[in-house]
Amino acid sequence: MVRVGLVGLGFMGQNHFNIYGTIDNAQVVAVCDRDPERVADAAAPVGGNIGDAQPLDLSAQAHYTCINEMLANEQLDVVDICTPTHLHSQMTVKALEQGFNVICEKPMARALEQCDAMISAASASGKMLFIAQCIRFWPEYEALAAMVNDGRLGKVVSARFTRQSPPPTWASDGWLSDTSLSGGAMLDLHIHDVDFILSTFGKPKAVLTRASNLITEQPPLVDHVVTQYIYDGPACVAEGTWVMPGTFPFEMGFQVLGEKGLLEFTGAKDPAFRFYPFDGEPYTPEVAAGTGYDRELAYFLSCIESGTAGDRVTPESARDSVKLVMAEFESAACGGIVEVC
């Protein structure tokens, strides 16, 4: 049984708590949040842009409002950090230095030097560090990666990814809307597709980004982003935004065209996931059950139980995703192409 200490009981922390309740080898023994109401025996739900929030029964867990006290008092196999992005690095380093494995929500950190500190702490401690880049584990995206790698799509000609959301009004104290803390939609939302593109197609030669602000009053431009990833081969574009009207439902998807057909994932059609081959009838490829959230956590726990870090999301690869987003920030600011080194 993997004993979990969960830090941050907002939207994503509550999501993780509920998922752990469905995993046989997981036990959340302690919860921590600076807001005492979020770690009460009966905690009110915190909604987000996906899924349905439900009240939490935390009566079986130890309650903390300070991570230092939780780390000092609890016997844990892993600390799961679901706090605001600007706190990721300091909390992760602290937990690693005190001998705990760590699962940290994406994005890895607000700045590259913070990512480096996390990687160094993991190396020095000999403990495992997992970054929860859930799209690598999302069934339809897993199927896309498999069809690219095994040739079922043929040579990829073009790829387009979209991720659209209303403004993140659910964040405590509005931290997601503070670019200095969250990095805006560019880093918090759009990084999902950045990370998947990197893990599937490799590092591009350069990026060209156009971005705008509709809810953020000050630069940088972070609310709505469209980036072209410049490869020698396929054309690749990703759009990320959290300025859609409040009545607009969250949407994520892709269209990837290969020499053997088109693979599409979209909420606008039924079925949402479909392969349209040039030769033959359309069909829906088989996908794993569940979501990327539960699949990533199950994978991380299996790595901890086996004592093997695994290679599906290394800390270094998560840092690369943050680095690529930083190149997009630069491109959006200067209006030109930025090489990716």
pLDDT of residue 49: 67
pLDDT score recorded for residue 67: 98
Q: What is the CATH number of domain 2-134+294-310?
A: 3.40.50.720
The predicted-structure confidence for 199-245, as pLDDT tens digits, reads as follows 999 999 999 999 999 988 888 989 999 999 999 999 999 999 999 99
pLDDT of residue 46: 84
Alpha-carbon distance of 190 to 205, in angstroms, equals 19
Half-sphere exposure of 186 (CA within 13 A, CB side): 33
Given a cut of 70, the residues of the chain with pLDDT beneath it are: 49, 51
Task: Answer whether 0.75 is exceeded by the pTM.
Answer: yes
Tens of pLDDT, residue by residue over 331-340, are: 999 999 999 9
Q: How far is the CA of 30 from the CAs of 78, 132, 230, in angstroms?
A: 11, 20, 45
Q: pLDDT for 165-175, tens place per residue?
A: 999 988 888 89
Delimit the domains of the chain by residue range: 2-134+294-310, 135-291+321-339
Q: What is the architecture, at CATH level 2, of domain 135-291+321-339?
A: 2-Layer Sandwich (3.30)
Q: What is the pLDDT of residue 53?
A: 73
Strand partners, 129: 102
